[in-house]
Amino acid sequence: MSSLQPGTPVDRYTLRALISTAGGSGKGIELWQAYDPVLDRPVAMRLIPASHLRATNAAEAARAAATVEHRNLVAVLDVLEDINIDDESFVAIVHEWAEGRTLTDLFEEREGESLPVADAMHLTRQIALAIVEAHRAGVIHGRIRPGCLLISGSTDPEGEGQVRVRGLAVDRALWGDSPSPAVDLPDCHGIGSLLYAFITARWPEGLADGVSGAPRHAGVLLTPTSVVAEVPALVDEITTRSIDPRIWGEIPTIRDHGRTRPVTPYGDVAAMLLALGGSTETSTRLPSLPSLPPRTPARSGSRRARRVIGRLGATVLAAAAVAGIGLVGLQLLDTAPDPWAGQSTPVSADLLTATPAPEEADSLTGFTSGLLPGQIPVSRSLVYGEDPEAHNPDTVDAAIDRNPISAWTTDTFYNPDTADLDAPIGLVLDLGNPRAVSAVRLELVGTGSSVSIRVGSSPEAPPQDWSVLAEAEAIGESIDLRSPRPVVGRYVLVWFTRLPPADSGFVGGLREISVLA
């Protein structure tokens, strides 16, 4: 807990409420709401112990950031060095007090749904405009992540909503490059990653600030059009040209008039802004996008109930993990990656694919009785591995019974990483005959599983002998995973490579799995 108390004076400011701490218990970097009596308004204040190795760098970065003014940036208002508070020396960086939702909040508000393309482009363009202005002043952000956003109002281009970016230059000075090691164009990469996240509800580099990691196929990051239905090819082009090639896992390519060609990275954020339909001068027009049908609304009923139930366990664990609760925010774990007090657990977010929406759920039972359109019937399920008796074989049918309440679970482990175990952990589905499998839909037990979906001809083959359909890390309670091309086989393996936390250790499981052609 902080040694400082609300009401403590800091130069002309007065501390009001502790928002978060990060970087060490008691001696870490603290984020406060404070009061500025001269301007009669609240401000945000980051207090950094003067003994911190990066305190001087953070002060220099803050002074540089204070020279940049843009309505989509959270402005630095003041930088105070060698401030003595209760006989301790601090650097204080004063920011605007800005209201808004984080990206994790936004996905929770939408019950895991990603944003429509027009909304995603609108928000991304605002971010790019702000960063271009910063670059003109010779200042880079250097650490654009989900936690640096504050989104107010509607995300619709026709609405009054606005996105603001915080942490310009300062976050990088305090917390280092993101991703690490540094990429050639960190801000271009960060903005492209945000566009990817807006479209898919997943972060391309893996779990970050409460946003779950993006799916991969054979180690290669899937493009947005391979993850979400009805996304224009323009989005693929922007994300592949802006996100660093090392994140993709191979040299990115894009289909153009029936041909596959490598993409050329953007030379700077200004070039990316033009591709987004904005102007480095005054125009902020949207690019011409194909007409899109309305998005399927977030499903209520059983799925929402399952998401609430699934979050209860994660909430208990999170309550035990955080350092404490401030008046208006959670304190950060010492190892949390987000200095702005973002969640350190993945959000519950479905990855929408071209898979049609399921039939309407029964109002009494909460689950559907028939198959999804395009769903392949499963004749039986069985535990995978050399010791199937260790993983509740009597409940394997719960994963295919179309009942969201029942579930199959693994045994309890004291280490979440299971990929290198001698006896792999998972569930095998028997399709009866070889079938072309394009996607799977998973309803999982717990939050934070990592899985590899594989297709094969023998239920007892080791994992390396199966063909990879799709993979995902640190996912929420439900996800749709699609392969760029169908994989043929009789058996589908759901291999758990990392288990989510449970009350007594780490336990994985499936409430429901659907296999789709």
Residue 197, domain CATH: 1.10.510.10
User: 111 and 91: one domain?
Assistant: no
**CATH number (domain holding residue 394):** 2.60.120.260
User: Of 68, 96, 124, which one is at a domain's C-terminal end?
Assistant: 96
Q: What is the CATH number of the domain that holds 91?
A: 3.30.200.20
Is there a domain that residue 291 lies in?
Answer: no
Please give the biggest Cα pair distance in the chain. Answer: 76
The CB-side HSE value for 82 (13 A sphere, CA atoms) comes to 0
Domain count of the fold of the chain: 3
Asked if residue 157 and residue 271 are part of one domain, the reply reads: yes
- Domain assignment of residue 170, yes or no: yes
| 269 and 204 housed in the same domain | yes
Classify 87 in phi/psi space as left (phi over 0), alpha (psi -120 to 50) or beta: left
Quick one: 63 and 156 in the same domain?
no
Q: Any residues with CB less than 8 A from the CB of 136 and at least 6 apart, and which?
A: none
Q: CB of 358 within 8 A of CB of 368?
A: yes
Distance CA 303, CA 238 (A): 33
469: closest CA among 214, 216, 224, 206? 216
> How far does Cα 427 stand from its chain's mean position?
26
Same domain for 486 and 422: yes
CB 126 within 8 A of CB 278: no
Q: What is the DSSP letter of 421?
A: -
- Tens of pLDDT, residue by residue over 179-227, are 877 888 999 999 999 999 999 999 999 889 889 899 888 888 999 988 8
- 381 with 488, same domain: the answer is yes
- Asked if 420 and 456 sit in the same domain, the reply is yes
User: CA Rg, the chain, in Å?
Assistant: 24
Domain that holds residue 399: 353-357+372-516
Residues 205, 168 share a domain: yes
Question: Quick check: 242 and 195 in contact, CB under 8 A?
Answer: yes
Q: What pTM was computed for the model?
A: 0.62
Do residue 234 and residue 157 come from a single domain?
Answer: yes
At residue 440's C-alpha, the angle toward residues 435 and 441, to 5°, is 145
> Do 200 and 266 fall into the same domain?
yes
**Residue 290 domain-assigned (yes or no):** no
Q: Which residues fall within 8 angstroms of residue 379, CB to CB, at 6 or more apart?
A: 430, 431, 432
- Is 325 inside any structural domain? no
**Of the candidates 260, 275, 290, which is a domain's last residue?**
275
13, part of any domain: yes
Bond before 179 cis per omega within 30 degrees = yes
Whether 183 is covered by a domain: the verdict is yes
Structure tokens at 146: 């989900």
Alpha carbon 439 to chain centroid, angstroms: 21
Cα separation, 461 vs 244, in Å, equals 36
Residue 313 within any structural domain of the chain: no
Which residue among 275, 295, 328 closes a domain? 275
**Co-location of 112 and 58 in the same domain:** no
What does the pLDDT profile of the chain (517 residues) look like in tens digits?
578 999 999 999 999 999 988 864 446 899 999 999 999 999 999 999 999 999 999 999 999 999 999 999 999 999 999 999 989 999 999 999 999 999 999 998 998 889 999 999 999 999 999 999 999 999 999 999 999 999 999 998 888 789 999 999 999 999 988 887 788 899 999 999 999 999 999 999 988 988 989 988 888 899 998 888 888 888 999 999 999 988 888 767 766 656 677 788 999 999 999 999 877 664 333 343 433 333 333 333 333 333 333 333 333 333 333 333 233 332 222 333 466 643 333 333 333 233 333 333 333 223 344 566 678 999 888 888 756 567 888 888 888 888 878 889 988 888 888 877 777 889 999 999 989 899 999 999 988 888 999 999 998 888 888 999 999 888 888 888 888 888 889 999 999 998 888 776 788 999 999 999 8
Inside any domain, residue 59: yes
Q: Please indicate, yes or no, whether residues 150 and 67 belong to a single structural domain of this protein.
A: no
